[in-house]
Amino acid sequence: MMKDYYQRSMKALQLAGMSERTQECYTRSIRKLVDFYGKTPDRISEQELEDYFLHRRNVDQWAPATLRIAYSGVKFFFINVLKQDWHISSYLGAKREKRLPCVLTREEINKMLARVHTFHNYVYLSTVYTCGLRLQEALYLQVSDIDSQRMMIHVHRGKGCKDRFVPLPESTLLLLRQYWKTHRNPKLIFPALGRGHNLGPTSLTPMAIDSVQGAFRKARFAAGITKRRVSIHTLRHSYATHLLEAGVNIRIIQNYLGHAQLMTTMVYLHLSRNGQEDACQRINDLMKGF
């Protein structure tokens, strides 16, 4: 019996060059499969695998994005760890939903940040928005990543293991310096503070994801923001949209966000209000009397 499936999965994913986040997601998909059947993956048949995904799709009604991660994780494990290249692997798939991301206005973001009551969460969320960072990119920022001479942040190993530089606004630099003085950790900008907030100077790990997500949700509800699918990542979408509305070239925005394809960045053209005000007025004039 293969009882070390977790370690073998992580080892194979690391050898394949997958990011830490992907390693966690793929291995979690295997653990859910194991928990579902109550036996190790090597004892699960192809028919059971098919029944499992049908159950997740039709009974549990997993979202397409969740199913895609599960398909990819299980497929990787069975092919590369168990050496089982079954026919089911060739047709597993879920349609990618074509949803436009939610965007907050500058006023909504300011209103929400004003409801963040802890300084470390306020600085963290402000940095995510003003620099267009992903959740984990901001959490793992290090002191050495801040280039105050060039006013840039060096983002290491972003999505797809790509490095990039993003502009550092002066107000954000001042805020980061003010916050760093509260803990003076020699390496991390956002260290885990501990229950008594006394571990900051020596912590080797960043703040917990659950902590910042919880602070964001509380501030969002306190600010009365009722838009759907609002998360910390919404701050990044808002950053890109606001840059576009301010006249920043979309190619530059692509570089700042770290998108490999321009088409990914072009979604923000659908979210920008530039030109929409005039179009809305023309529609109102055209439809008068109906």
Q: Is 268 a catalytic residue?
A: yes
Full domain range(s) for residue 22: 5-90
CATH code, domain carrying 263: 1.10.443.10
In a domain, 18, yes or no: yes
236 is catalytic: yes
The contacts of residue 148 (CB under 8 Å, 6+ apart) are 168, 173
Catalytic residue among 111, 156, 159, 218: 159
140 is catalytic: no
Question: Does a structural domain hold residue 83?
Answer: yes
Among candidate residues 75, 134, 220, 242, the one labeled active-site is: 134
Residue 171 pLDDT greater than 90, yes or no: yes
Task: Write the pLDDT tens digit of every residue in 36-73.
Answer: 998 888 888 989 999 999 999 899 988 888 888 998 99
227 in catalytic set: no
Domain co-membership, 72 together with 23: yes
CA distances 80 to 9, 11, 71, 203, 234, Å, are 9, 11, 14, 36, 35
Please pick, among 31, 68, 218, 233, the residue that the annotation labels catalytic: 233
Residues 61 and 172 in one domain: no
Do 75 and 193 lie in one domain? The reply is: no
- Active site (annotated) includes residue 233: yes
Residue at 288 is within a domain: no
Mean pLDDT for the chain overall: 87
Number of domains in the chain: 2
Query: Is 68 known to be catalytic?
Result: no
- In this structure, the answer to whether residues 43 and 142 fall within a common structural domain is no
Please indicate, yes or no, whether residues 192 and 146 belong to a single structural domain of this protein: yes
Q: Which of 236, 237, 239, 256 is catalytic?
A: 236
- We report the CATH number of the domain holding residue 54 as 1.10.150.130
Q: Tell me whether residue 282 is in a domain.
A: no
- Which residue among the candidates 8, 183, 220, 259 is catalytic per the annotation? 259
Dihedral through CA 66, CA 72, CA 78, CA 79, nearest 10?
170
pTM for this model (two decimals): 0.75
| Co-location of 132 and 271 in the same domain | yes
- Please give the torsion angle defined by the CA atoms of residues 57, 59, 60 and 61, in that order, rounded to the nearest 10 degrees: 50
Whether 290 is covered by a domain: the verdict is no
Do the domain assignments include residue 177? yes
Query: 65 and 126 in one domain?
Result: no
Determine which one of 122, 140, 256, 268 is catalytic.
268
Q: pLDDT for 239-288, tens place per residue?
A: 999 998 888 889 999 999 988 888 888 888 777 766 566 656 666 665 66
